[in-house]
């Protein structure tokens, strides 16, 4: 049986990042096993928004560390072929009077305390940045210039290529079927193409993380939840790529919106989606009623979109935990087993930082940020990382 220093299960944007960082930090023999192809899980379905805005302060630090990688991925990976597809257009967030006002104020101050550039804007300043929207009801508007959106598939494949160039072996079309454990320590995996041994296994399986529960009996509190993304076309008010990403805490669905292809508006709700009984990232139906419901919310903020058309749409699936934040680090009870799952719709923006800390943990190095807040045990101890805006991916 071939033996490795570490085995990564799953080559989404998180697993590919872990693999790269393992090699970068000195692991000599690393194997990545991917059932489909690199990035073909939920990463390809991402809206790609990058911000450091969070109401959970621990996430701000992970996002801040990740942002610097996105701004120069080729430099970060020391690979001239790497790219993130970054559009640095900034991030605008507003709240009306009401329950989300003081959490927004607190979150913006929290970012500033971490040295992140955040501005408090007046309505006219906000309109100058996003002239297709109105801000009549806004009681508070925050703006983060160092933010935008990028391409999660491009980032996953860039991490994977850079990992390969550092000697990592990536096998696609190979499914891990079982985890091998001996005397309370992992010792390898059984796959559809034979067994491989290692005393360090990192699972980055996203909505398929429940496999861990089946293999080990350790509770895996993650639920697959389907979300719809719409691309709207409005010739009178194109959403250009110079316009910032927008988060509307005043809308019932806590909408987020960004430019798509330089003219369309990509829009989705930032609240709870449709729970699936089984993990699958197959496309689901988007009803016309739903399109009308989201369209009405959009038109409340962007008047010209009253007459917008639907240019395209797709669904994607989040790996949602009870507090909408990931589980990161070692699992109790089995040595050598490390996980990164439960990104609850906001894992892309954390992927460089998370990949690095999981690799550090796997190699027994000090981690850049403490993984303690993200431990699985928080769900039994009650020390949850629940965001102050309620349940949703802005967390
Ligand atoms: C609609 C949508 C919009 C989003 N928008 C944003 C956003 O704007 N900003 C943001 O930061 N985040 C966003 N996200 C979240 C972000 O895209 C995800 O958190 C991130 O892509 C997850 O990466 P991953 O590697 O954990 O998962 P995946 O890409 O799903 O990778 C997991 C991989 O594991 C493989 N796998 C699973 N089990 C096995 C097994 N037994 N054997 C072998 N392989 C296995 C799968 O095939 C899969 O490729 C969004 C997500 C969706 C769905």
Whole-model pTM above 0.85? yes
- Give residue 41 CA to ligand 1 midpoint distance, Å: 6
Residue 291 vs residues 28, 102, 294, 340: alpha-carbon distances, Å: 50, 31, 5, 33
Determine the pLDDT at residue 183. 95
Q: Which residue reads 């490795």 in tokens?
A: 4
- Give residue 358 CA to ligand 1 midpoint distance, Å: 16
The best mutation among 343, 351, 354, 392 to test binding of ligand 1, ranked by most ligand atoms within 8 Å of the C-beta, falls on 343
Is the pLDDT at 394 greater than 80? The verdict is no
- Give residue 346 CA to ligand 1 midpoint distance, Å: 10
Determine the pLDDT at residue 390. 81
Is the pLDDT at 80 greater than 80? The verdict is yes
What's the rounded mean pLDDT across residues 218-236?
A: 97
Tens-place pLDDT, residues 98-119: 999 999 999 999 999 999 999 9
Tens-place pLDDT, residues 305-339: 999 999 999 999 999 999 999 999 999 999 999 99
Say if CB 46 and CB 206 are below 8 A apart.
Answer: no
**CA-angle at 264, arms to 233 and 136, nearest 5°:** 85
Confidence of residue 288 (pLDDT cuts 50, 70, 90): very high
Is the pLDDT at 278 greater than 80? The verdict is yes
Distance CA 390, CA 384 (A): 12
Residue nearest to atom 35 of ligand 1 (CA): 10
Tens-place pLDDT, residues 191-226: 999 999 999 999 999 999 999 999 999 999 999 999
Distance CA 348, CA 214 (A): 26
Tens-place pLDDT, residues 22-56: 999 999 999 999 999 999 999 999 999 999 999 99
Neighbours of 363 (CB within 10 A): 15
Q: For residue 328, which phi and psi values (nearest 5 degrees)?
A: -130, 135
Which ligand 1 atom sits nearest the alpha carbon of residue 10?
A: 34
Is the pLDDT at 391 greater than 90? The verdict is no
Tens-place pLDDT, residues 130-141: 999 999 999 999
* 303, 304, 309, 313: CA torsion to nearest 10: -50
- Give residue 12 CA to ligand 1 midpoint distance, Å: 6
Q: Which residues line ligand 1 (CB under 6 A)?
A: 9-15, 33-36, 40-43, 45-49, 152, 175-176, 204-206, 208, 211, 227, 229, 316-318, 343, 345-349
Determine the pLDDT at residue 340. 98
**8-state DSSP, 304:** G
């Amino acid at each position: 049986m071939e033996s490795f220093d570490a085995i990564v299960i799953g080559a989404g944007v998180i697993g590919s990042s872990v693999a790269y960082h393992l090699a970068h930090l000195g692991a000599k023999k690393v194997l990545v096993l991917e059932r489909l192809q690199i990035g073909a899980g939920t990463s390809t379905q991402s809206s790609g928004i990058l911000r450091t805005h969070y109401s959970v302060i621990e996430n701000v630090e992970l996002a801040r560390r990740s942002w610097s990688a996105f701004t120069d991925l080729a430099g970060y990976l020391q690979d001239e072929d790497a790219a993130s597809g970054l559009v640095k257009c900034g991030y605008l967030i507003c709240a009306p009077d009401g329950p989300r006002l003081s959490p927004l104020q607190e979150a913006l101050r929290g970012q500033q305390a971490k040295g992140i550039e955040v501005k408090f804007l007046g309505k006219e300043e906000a309109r100058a940045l996003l002239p297709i929207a109105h801000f009549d009801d806004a009681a508070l508007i925050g703006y983060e210039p160092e933010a935008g959106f990028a391409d999660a598939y491009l980032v996953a494949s860039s991490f994977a290529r850079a990992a390969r160039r550092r000697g990592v072996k990536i096998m696609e079309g190979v499914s891990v079927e079982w985890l091998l454990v001996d005397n309370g320590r992992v010792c390898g995996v059984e796959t559809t193409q034979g067994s491989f041994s290692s005393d360090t296994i990192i699972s980055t399986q996203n909505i398929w993380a429940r496999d861990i529960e089946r293999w080990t009996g350790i509770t895996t509190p993650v639920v697959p939840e389907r979300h719809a993304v719409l691309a709207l076309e409005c010739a009178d008010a194109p959403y250009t790529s110079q316009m910032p990403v927008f988060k509307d805490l005043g809308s019932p669905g806590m909408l987020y919106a960004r430019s798509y292809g330089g003219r369309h508006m990509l829009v989705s709700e930032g609240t709870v989606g449709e729970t699936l009984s089984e993990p699958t990232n197959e496309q689901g139906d988007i009803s016309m009623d739903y399109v009308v419901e989201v369209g009405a919310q959009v038109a409340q903020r962007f008047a010209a979109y009253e007459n917008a058309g639907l240019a395209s749409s797709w669904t994607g699936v989040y790996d949602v935990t009870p507090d909408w934040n990931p589980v990161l680090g070692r699992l109790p009870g089995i040595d050598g087993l490390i996980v990164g799952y439960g990104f609850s719709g906001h894992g892309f923006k954390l992927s460089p930082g998370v990949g690095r800390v999981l690799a550090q943990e796997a190699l027994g190095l000090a981690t850049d940020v403490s993984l303690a807040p993200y431990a699985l045990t928080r769900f039994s101890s009650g020390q949850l990382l629940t965001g102050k805006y309620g349940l949703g991916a802005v967390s």
